[in-house]
Amino acid sequence: MFNLKALQKNRTVKYGIPMLLLVIGGSFGLREFTQIRYDAQKIKRRLDPSLEVRVNAQKQSVILEEEYEKLKEINLDEWKNIRGPRPWEDSKEYQKQQRSRLSKTD
């Protein structure tokens, strides 16, 4: 009985042990909550299986030499830089204007 009353008056037992339990228990709890977050992100990133097969097939079938040959065939000396429309401009109308300017200069 005497030991129990002495422990209740001890500041380490009264404040220190609950604080340690809160800090250590909180770290384990936060780890579980953050793991749920990352697991949910993995689930969202998964692709449809048929689409995933197509994407993987495209990644594997690209050969560097073939892409280089395609780029060699393109004439890069005759390209024109066309500015995109501003947010306040009508994009279809602006594209028509740009195309008409290109056809006049050619």
Q: How far is CA 82 from the centre of its chain?
A: 30
- Give 68's contacts (C-beta < 8 A, 6+ positions apart): none
80 contacts 102 by C-beta, under 8 angstroms: yes
Domain positions in the chain: 2-81
Per-residue pLDDT tens digits of the chain, which is 106 residues long: 568 788 788 888 888 899 999 999 999 989 998 998 888 888 777 767 777 777 777 666 667 888 888 888 888 787 777 777 788 877 788 778 877 877 766 5
Check: CB of residue 7 under 8 Å from CB of residue 13: yes
Q: For residue range 64-73, what is the model confidence (pLDDT) as tens digits?
A: 888 888 888 8
